[in-house]
Structure 1
Amino acid sequence: MKKYVLLVEDDPDLGSLLSQYLRVKGFTVTLAVNGEAALIQLSTQSFDIVILDVMLPGSDGFVLAGRLRQQYASIPFLFLTARRQQEDVLRGLSLGADDYLVKPFDADELVLRISNILRRCAGQITQPDIFRIGSYRFEPAQLQLTRKGQRQQLTQKEADLLEILCQSAGRLVQRKTILETVWGSADFFNGRSLDVFVRRLRKHLDQDPNIRVEVIRSSGFILRIETNV
């Protein structure tokens, strides 16, 4: 089931590029170039999430966020902005934002953050319910990994970590992205916990030699799945 995104961005190039990328990822996107246009869209259509720039013409994104919380309190939103000062981040979060992502940003990270917010708010994921990983079948919602009828029950964090890697299979997923999405913080102790969970996943997947979780030192991880031709 597609999710509906309202993207409020006054930069036409970034707005167009980001809209196209999110559509490729399965979202239905409506672009609004200012706060007034966004409020008109909100009054005529239902959205699952709103992505806000702060520096908008007319009323800025903070003002629009206040209107969102007053009139559409059930719709989650996140800020996507070049404003990186701590006071801006704190102001955005104090207005009820579910996340605050600073430009320049990684598009895959944005998709993961959107997915995480929607999962928390709606109790469901926006990506497919079932992943094929080599000879394994992975069902995130059931926390289950199955191969040749043999079923393994995963912990929630194991499933969340594996899901993130599956969503970007063959591509680098930054450590920071994983830590902030799954653990909520990229501190030292969570980093050590992440390494432990990666070793657990490797053990869960070790029956298929065509699968490996590759560590890119100081950067992140890549889920490699080789196919036999």
Structure 2
Amino acid sequence: MKVFVADTDSLSISKLERSLSMSGFACEKAIISGKVPESLFHYLVNGFKGVVVLGAGLDDDLKESWIRQCRKSETVFPVLVVTQAKRRDSLMKFNEAGMTDFICLPLRPDELVTRISLLIRQVYPSDYAANVFRNGPFVFSRFPNKVLRDGKEIELTVKEFELACLLFRHIGQPLSRVTIEETIWFSSENELSRTIDTHVSRVRNKLDLKEEHGYRLQQVYGYGYQLVEV
């Protein structure tokens, strides 16, 4: 599931992208200084799946035009507009053009993540449901990345979350270092070996994967790691 972020400069985009990336969203971005390229519209209206975020720096007329163009798509995807609260007339125009939701400045990262998550649940309910799985006291979900144990959220980094999901989806099955490297880091370089060990240790500690709690995260000598239920 992608979040497409557009604004007039890289700094503004980074402010939007940072909190989304830290929550596990795959972000794409575009710096728009004038008219939106036709190639970009073509990309969005031909099978894009995710949420489009239009930054506050974009001209209101450009935003309205962009929203109308997005609504020509054969597939329905939500468009969220970042704007000033005082621009009520513009908000009415955006709404008439087909805006799905808006968020007002000053930007609050947690609110942005929550709004994006709600839009995905509303527009893509089957995709959201397909990315929720349970094992014992644990519940893993995406959009945003979240893991609960007995209903209490455990804070993980993006890589820690991906590693935990990989281990739990293959519980009882040994995973090689190469598999872990290529799946989580998209690489298979030797210098990643210590990084893997560090992340495994953090996942073990944060999720409290101990035998007395029903799990054992063990090293498979010369091969990799394995999570087992005991």
TM-score, normalization: structure 2?
A: 0.51
Is structure 2 residue 9 aligned with structure 1 residue 6? no
Q: Spell out the pairing of 1:39-58 with structure 2 (5 A cutoff).
A: 39-44=38-43, 46-53=48-55, 55-56=57-58
Separation of aligned partners in 2, 1:117 and 1:167 = 23
- Decide whether the 8 Å contact of 1:8 with 1:52 is kept in 2: yes
Q: 1:129 is aligned with what amino acid?
A: V
Alignment match of 2:128 (pick from 102, 125, 133): 125
Question: What 5-or-longer segments of structure 2 have no aligned partner?
Answer: 143-147, 157-205, 209-230
Q: 1:31 is aligned with what amino acid?
A: K
Partner of 1:17: 15
Task: Report Cα offsets for 1:135-187 as digits up to 9, x if no partner.
Answer: 9444789xxxx999xxxxxxxxxxxxx7xx84889xxxxxxxxxxxxxxxxxx
Q: 2:109 is aligned with what amino acid?
A: A
Shift of 1:113: 0.7
Partner of 2:115: 113
Partner of 1:81: 83
Shift of 1:33: 1.9
Shift of 1:61: 0.6
* Larger RCO of the pair (alpha carbons < 8 Å, separation 6+): 2
Q: Secondary structure at the match of 1:100?
A: strand
- Decide whether the 8 Å contact of 1:6 with 1:51 is kept in 2: yes
Shift of 1:91: 2.1
Is structure 2 residue 102 aligned with structure 1 residue 100? yes
Q: 1:61 is aligned with what amino acid?
A: K
Q: Spell out the pairing of 1:51-70 with structure 2 (5 A cutoff).
A: 51-53=53-55, 55-56=57-58, 60-70=62-72
TM-score, normalization: structure 1?
A: 0.51
Q: Secondary structure at the match of 1:97?
A: coil
Q: Secondary structure at the match of 2:72?
A: helix
Separation of aligned partners in 1, 2:100 and 2:56 = 14
Q: Secondary structure at the match of 1:49?
A: strand
Shift of 1:108: 1.1
**Alignment length (residue pairs):** 151
Q: Secondary structure at the match of 1:74?
A: coil
Q: 1:41 is aligned with what amino acid?
A: L
Identity between Structure 1 and Structure 2 (%): 19
Q: Secondary structure at the match of 1:125?
A: helix
Alignment match of 2:24 (pick from 17, 21, 26): 26
Q: What RMSD over aligned residues (CA atoms) do the two structures have, in Å?
A: 4.0
